[in-house]
């Protein structure tokens, strides 16, 4: 399995990362070293094996439907680079 430049551009787009032409070449190469390395997992016979999505051998706990949080509005908005008194602000999004 190897990732070509076109695929890498798509991946970078999905991950919202920017790659210039020079980087694309370099990143492609280093990613393909890794994909070559991980290729071996395909050889293992796993027909009878369920994926182990989690090392937890217990079930999910649940919480009661109770409001436990006060407002953190000022605290949170103060962390943002762009915000007014009420909102986070981002460059205009066109739907």
Partner 1 sequence: MINLSLRELNQLLTSKQISPAELGSVYLDRCRQFNPTLNALIHVQNDLAAADLLTADRSQSILAGIPLIHKDLFSTKGVTTSAASRMLADYVPPFDATVVGRLRDAGMVSLGKANMDEFAMGSSNEYSYFGAVNNPWDLSRVPGGSSGGSAAAVAARLTPVATASDTGGSIRQPAAMCGITGIKPSYGRASRYGMIAFASSLDQAGVMAVSADDCGLVLEAMMGHDDKDSTSILAEPWRWQAPQEASMQGLKVGVIPDWIEQLKDNDIKRSTQQALDTLVSKGAELIEVDLPHADLAVAAYYILAPAEASANLARFDGIRYGHQSAEPCDDINDMYRKSRNEGFGQEVQRRIMLGTWALSSGYYDDYYCQAQRIRRLISEDFKQAFSKVDIMAVPVSPEVAFKQGEKSDGVSMYQADQFTIPASLAGLPCMSMPIQPVRGLPVGLQLIGPYFNEQVILSTAARFQLVTDYHLQMPEAFL
Partner 2 sequence: MSQQWDVVIGLEIHVRLALDSKLFSGASAQYGASPNSQVSFLDAALPGTLPVVNEQAIDYALRFGLSIDAKIPEVTRFARKNYFYPDLPKGYQISQMDDPIVGRGQIDIETEKGPKIVNITRAHLEEDAGKSIHDEYDDWTAIDLNRAGTALIEVVSEPELYSAKEAVAYMRAIYNRVTFLGICDGNLQEGSFRCDANVSLKPKGSEALGTRAEIKNLNSFRFIEKAINYEIKRQKQLLESGRTVVQETRLYDADKDQTRSMRGKEDANDYRYFPDPDLPALNITAERLAKQRQAMPELPEAKFARYCEQWQLAEDDARQIAYDVAMASFFEQSQAITRAKAAENAKFLITDFNALLNEHGSDLQDTKISAGHYAGLLDAMASGQVSRKIAKQVLNEMWTSGEAAETIIEQQGLAQISDSDALRQIVTQIIADNPNQVQQFKDGNDKMFNFFIGQVMKQTKGQANPVQTKQILEELLNND
> Could you say whether residue 87 binds partner 1 (CB under 8 A)?
no
Q: Among residues 21, 54, 67, 86, which is the contact residue for partner 1, using CB under 8 A?
A: 54
Burial (CB < 10 A; 0-12, 13-18, 19+), residue 14, is exposed
**Angle, alpha carbons 23-19-83 (nearest 5°):** 140
Residue 60: DSSP 8-state: P
Tokens of 27: 């990143």
State the nearest-atom distance from the C-beta of 40 to partner 2, in Å.
21
* Residue list 28-47, contact with partner 2 (CB under 8 A): none
To the nearest whole angstrom, how small is the minimum distance from the Cβ of residue 40 to partner 1?
A: 5
List residues binding partner 2 (CB under 8 A): 13-14, 16, 53-54, 56, 58-69, 71-73, 76-77, 82, 84, 86-95
């Amino acid at each position: 399995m190897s990732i070509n430049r076109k695929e890498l551009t798509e991946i970078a787009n999905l991950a919202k990362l920017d790659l210039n032409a020079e980087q694309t070449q370099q990143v492609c190469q280093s990613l393909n070293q890794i994909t070559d390395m991980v290729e071996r997992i395909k050889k293992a016979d796993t027909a009878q094996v369920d994926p182990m999505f989690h090392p937890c051998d217990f079930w999910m706990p649940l919480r009661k439907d109770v409001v436990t949080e006060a407002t953190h509005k000022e605290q949170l908005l103060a962390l943002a680079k762009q915000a007014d008194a009420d909102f986070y602000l981002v460059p205009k999004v066109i739907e």
